[in-house]
Chains A and B, each alone.
Chain A
Amino acid sequence: MPSEHLIIQAYDGIVLAKITKERVLEAPVINALAEDLAKLVDRYPKISLVLDLADVGYLSSSFIGKLMALFKAVTAVKGRMAVGGVRPSLMPLFQVTRLDKIITFAPDAEQVIQLYKRKPL
């Protein structure tokens, strides 16, 4: 089932994926999001993926696991991935699990897009 909570925009070789659901807790929602995000890796060779989490206020450890799986898939095809717009209240979740050590986090997605534009793959 395609996720109804994901907006995709692709331009200049950069793919922006914005999750539009505030509570990313239900397994069907998380699985649908993960499937759709994984498809982007297949569709765009050497993807520059920017994941916008500005609308997300609640998430589960399962979603963090899916994020790690996505990061591994992106790096496996020599792509790159960053996360933008994580609310300050949620940032400790990524720090405790040390995802912030391997995935780039930026205050907003636009910053990552500009960075990726300046440094194309």
Chain B
Amino acid sequence: MAAPILDIRNLSISFATPRGSVDALRNVSLTVPPDRIVGIVGESGCGKTTLISAVMHLLAHNAIVRAGTIQFEGTDVLTMTEDRLRDLRGRRMAMVFQDPMTSLNPVVSIATQMIDIQYRDAGSTQDKLQRAVAMLRKVGIPDPEQRIQGYPHQFSGGMRQRISIAMALLMNPALLIADEPTTALDVTMEAQIIHLLRQLRREFKGSILFVSHNLGLIAELCDEVVVMYAGEVVEQGEVRELFHHARHPYTRLLLECDPARIAATTRRLPTIEGSLPDLANLPGGCIFAPRCPQAYGPCASEAPGTYAVASGHTARCFRVRDG
């Protein structure tokens, strides 16, 4: 197997707060192989955002990296100089944010923003403009020669997100990080953007790290899935394997709760009892044990390791170890 684009090993990150240390990520390991789409799925507070901020090295000032490495194309992002990082961001790794209205600059034309982003390249402004226009055409902006002179408010939400994707792909990055890129969009527009991402990936030979809480989108787009809960990776595997043979009780409950997966209509929708643990005051044992319907002997006192379920499929659950 080719060397991964992104290789995160045993990453633990805490935030220093007035209430004490909040352990937002604990012992997280995941890899993004070349030319693959890896999805991170989890509910609020699971650490998705902290994880992708760490990959871009854009963590808040009170963040403390307790342990671990983030190898991007073979070098550790966490020990890089700021100059080196600046060189990577936008060029080798790019990001599409949740809300295109806040990620695009409202007072600068699309043309200027797309030329600016190519500042590292030598070519003439005219060449850069041509490249930007070509990229807009690829992401499906009609009449890009004219429209590139427009400002973000002159575009619909779907078009703005297409522009963000065009900007992210302009430098042909090895890794595209998409953080809930369709949350602000309607369902028909969402389907179009997902279709676009899949198309572009074929053309651009890059990997995508796709973050979402929507299981449908993960199933639709991703090759591999990482399930996070309360700052830990609880299960990961190839997409079909994970959706059809989920082993961690949290993953199973999450799948059961999705109304889109419930075939017969019901007025009593399933939920996951209990609430997230306090990350400033973690209980011993398995992180999910207090809410887990299958918790037994060791779960309350011992923290489970990561156990293999099948090839490339692991879960952090004693039930997997003990069969």
Do the two chains bind? no
